[in-house]
């Protein structure tokens, strides 16, 4: 059984162990099943990753970061082509002149995919498919991404059920990871 220890610090992933914080001053142990049943449950829906109150500069930082750190595919709907990097100038053009056209990026976190949609300048929205998550290592990979984005933008990053922004499953603020989706569990 894979175990996870809740703690108040972020550490590089250690095979089979996940260091995460649930509540200040409370350290608990759980297994992968707890995360799978309460965060990555399979009901046919996705999970949304939301960063609210973003600016053009936040988007620029995010684009530069993912272009420099991850393998990705970016679909430019105006050109009907896919590229291996995001062209930020084209993203700005979409925000300004083509809000009804489709552009999206698929970022690879090893075997996991994080999809990004460029709906509005005021919010960065990603989504993940829970069925891709099969271990604590997968969870750690996502947490590394969320922590990196939160630190880069100095903003809270929230994982929610699909189209349910009022329900937080995981919240990341800089190096602090909390699990509102596990409150009252175990």
Domain boundaries, the chain: 42-179
Model pLDDT, residue 98: 82
Per-residue pLDDT at 100: 74
Instruction: Say what the pLDDT of residue 5 is.
Output: 35
| Nearest one of 104, 102, 127 to 114, comparing CA atoms | 127
> What are the 10-residue block averages of pLDDT along the chain, 186 residues in total?
36 38 41 92 97 98 98 92 96 86 92 94 97 95 97 98 97 95 80
SS3 category, 44? coil
Tokens of 36: 């799978």
- Determine the pLDDT at residue 97: 87
Please report the pLDDT score of residue 44 as a whole number.
96
Q: What is the pLDDT of residue 60?
A: 98
Contact 48, 127 (CB under 8 A): yes
Question: How do strand 170-173 and strand 176-178 relate by DSSP bridges?
Answer: antiparallel
Q: Are 112 and 118 in contact (CB under 8 A)?
A: no
157 Cβ partners below 8 Å, 6+ apart?
Answer: 49, 50, 51, 146, 149, 150, 171, 172, 173
The pTM of the full predicted model, rounded to 2 decimals, is 0.84
């Amino acid at each position: 059984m894979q175990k996870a220890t809740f703690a108040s610090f972020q550490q590089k992933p250690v095979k089979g162990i996940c260091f995460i914080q649930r509540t200040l001053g409370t350290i608990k142990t759980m297994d992968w099943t707890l995360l799978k049943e309460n965060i990555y449950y399979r009901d046919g829906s996705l999970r949304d990753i939301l960063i609210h109150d973003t600016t053009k500069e936040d988007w620029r930082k995010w684009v530069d970061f993912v272009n420099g750190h991850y393998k990705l595919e970016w679909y430019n709907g105006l050109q009907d082509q896919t590229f291996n990097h995001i062209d930020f100038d084209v993203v700005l053009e979409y925000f300004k002149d083509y809000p009804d056209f489709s552009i999206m990026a698929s970022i690879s976190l090893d075997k996991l995919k994080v999809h990004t949609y460029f709906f509005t300048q005021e919010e960065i929205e990603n989504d993940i498919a829970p069925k891709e998550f099969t271990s604590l290592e997968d969870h750690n990979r996502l947490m590394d991404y969320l922590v990196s984005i939160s630190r880069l933008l100095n903003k809270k990053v929230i994982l929610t059920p699909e189209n349910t922004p009022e329900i937080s499953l995981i919240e990341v603020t800089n190096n602090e990871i909390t699990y509102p989706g596990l409150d009252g569990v175990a």
